[in-house]
Amino acid sequence: MTPEPGQNPPTPPRHGTAAPAIYPAGGAARTRWILGLRGARQPVTARRPNAFFVEAERAADGCVVPVVTILLTNRECPYRCVMCDLWQNTLPSPVPPGAVPSQIDYALRRLRAAHPARIPIAGGPMPGAAAHPTRCQIKLYNAGSFFDPGAIPRQDYPAIVARVTGFERVIVECHPALVGDRVIHFRDLLEQAGGPARARAPRLEVALGLETAHAGVLAKLNKCMSLPQFRRAAQFLQRQGIALRVFVLVQPPFLAPAEALEWTQRSVEFAFDCGATAVTLIPTRPGNGALEALAAQGEFVPPRLSALESALAAGLAPGRGRVFADTWSLEPFADCPACFAKRVDRLRRLNLAQQVLPAIRCAVCGAGEGGPLASRPSG
Ligand code: SF4
Ligand SMILES: [Zn+2]
């Protein structure tokens, strides 16, 4: 991704040192353990989004469309998942009403100036209509749950909706436990903003973190969610005609690397069984303190780029829906400096093509040649 003005440069966190050695079995002790290993937050402000950029993504109808992503600066998520590092770019207290719409304005003003032909104007003609050939979607990710009552003030919903009516789809993220009336309210506002015939109404898509379909591993992640809870939230969205996107971790903690690929496949299957139209595979990123402690205990092995490549190929193979690899900041997963850039580029092309392309061959590491780090062959 290309950094845009307003984007905070990543800085390694400074980890705390006061945590006990063994990961507690559960409850408040587990949360204290996770918090005790944290470093400092990044300096962020409610007046500015954390980052914003435009990417291309394969849409559900097969077309490749531009997608604006705005990483909103928000209060920290109230959950304390052991693998989460999103708190690093959050605030300890809620943002005031009006802050989130202002952040969206800040980002869209700059993105429209940089990409005038690609970013729709709020309230403009429906994207994709003959009079306006531009199609564009928007992700509003807030490092937590969009429908968390402490995250996005409900009174800001109309102002947010007014800013996204020119987009064909609005994608937000949410913990499954917070899927409820607020989702319906926001969806209804989007539809009302689309005019009497809802012709300009952006479609709402909610991204839920499944993380893994391995019930035992999921229970240890401290996400406070079970597979039946996830399924209920997905069914709720389906009944309301709201699209579902699912996040799945590649090689989470508490899972042996030898089992990781199988469980990624099973998690992708579970997501599609729950009605997902898209699944994003996220390599489990070290760097939050807790994962380093788990690695020291032998409970976590950071995935390599080859694990993400294999997971994407395996996820695409059944052809049940779109499967994407998260390609943001993959440097920590590099296996080989000689072929890293080409392999990341290949992952991006796979995301757009939604089919497995020939593997990158590398004489240094043996990728694509059956060597120890070989990419999964095409086909
Ligand atoms: S629910 Fe999501 S944002 Fe919240 S702590 Fe867990 S992974 Fe992080
Ligand atoms: Zn290589």
Which DSSP string corresponds to 122-160? Answer: TT-SPTTSTT-----EEEEE-SS-TT-TTTS-GGGHHHH
SS3 72: coil
pLDDT for res 369: 65
pLDDT for res 367: 86
Hey, what are 371's tokens?
């060597």
56-96: pLDDT as tens digits:
999 999 999 999 999 999 999 999 999 999 999 999 999 99
Is residue 289 left, alpha or beta, with left meaning phi > 0 and alpha meaning psi from -120 to 50?
A: left
One-letter amino acid of 6? G
Q: Is the CB of 247 under 6 A from ligand 1?
A: no
Task: Give the integer Cα–Cα distance in Å for 172 and 152.
Answer: 11
pTM of the model: 0.91
pLDDT for res 118: 82
- For residue 330, give the DSSP letter: -
Cβ distance 266 to 314 under 8 Å? Answer: no
**Ligand 1 centre distance from Cα of residue 250 (Å):** 16
pLDDT for res 74: 97
Which residue has tokens 């380093």?
Answer: 292
Q: Is the CB of 175 under 6 A from ligand 1?
A: yes
Which residue has tokens 């990417």?
Answer: 55
- Ligand 1 pocket: which of 71, 82, 86, 174 to mutate (most atoms within 8 A of CB): 86
Q: 363 pairs with which residues across the strands?
A: none
From the candidate CATH numbers 3.40.50.170, 3.30.70.260, 3.30.450.30, 3.30.750.200, the one assigned to the domain spanning 27-302: 3.30.750.200
Specify the residue with its C-alpha closest to ligand 1, atom 6: 81
- Ligand 1 pocket: which of 35, 81, 226 to mutate (most atoms within 8 A of CB): 81
Hey, what are 353's tokens?
């093509």
pLDDT for res 124: 56
**Ligand 1 centre distance from Cα of residue 338 (Å):** 34
One-letter amino acid of 364? V
Task: Give the integer Cα–Cα distance in Å for 143 and 183.
Answer: 17
Hey, what are 20's tokens?
């006990």
Listed as ranges, residues in the chain with pLDDT below 70 are 1-20, 122-133, 197, 369-379
**Ligand 2 centre distance from Cα of residue 152 (Å):** 44
Pairing of strands 243-250, 203-211: parallel
- Ion ligand 2: protein residues whose beta carbon lies under 5 Å: 336, 338-339, 362, 364-365, 367
Helix intervals (H) in 9-116 = 27-36, 99-114
The domain ranges of the chain are 27-302
